[in-house]
Structure 1
Amino acid sequence: MQTLRCAIRAGAEPREARQQILAAVELVARAEGDAVPDLMRPHTHRLGYSGMIAVGEFRMTAYDLLVASGLDADRAADLVRQTADPADWD
């Protein structure tokens, strides 16, 4: 957030801040792991229910920060969604 604040104050394009935000989204998604097949709870992840709520809140915050960095809402949502998708990782 400090990087974003400094870029905005300087009137510069906040590319580094956006990269940091998206790197954090990817780290959280990696921590989340894949859904575990369970007939009683089809969307169970290793972080558990509370962890999944926190992941959702984190992604919304990342989205808000990307919008604050000057991206339009659709682009910010696409970036968060794509970054959180394991298919897009190395």
Structure 2
Amino acid sequence: MFDLTGFQRDLLYVMAGFDEPHGLAIKGELEDYYETEIHHGRLYPNLDTLVEKGLVDKGEKDRRTNSYRLTARGRREIEARNEWEQQYLDALDE
């Protein structure tokens, strides 16, 4: 996950919270979080990068709508990142 941008990591986290979301659902969640518009030219190339890296599978809901879901590798990467972050957050409590 070290080679991903923060935006790409956020895409993975959003997808982890859904069952095969489509691009506009992901876009809406990120727009709520970032409090700004996410343009298609930013969203879809980054989703394609995650597919190319084997972290996300891309499917078809219908002829116009793609769906996305984390692969097993994508889930492992999120879990590893979460463990890495947690070690530093735990240090706040000490």
TM-score bucket (shorter structure): 0.3 to 0.5
TM-score (norm 1): 0.33
TM-score (norm 2): 0.32
Q: Which has the larger radius of gyration?
A: 1
Structure with the higher strand share, 1 or 2: 2
Structure with the higher helix share, 1 or 2: 1
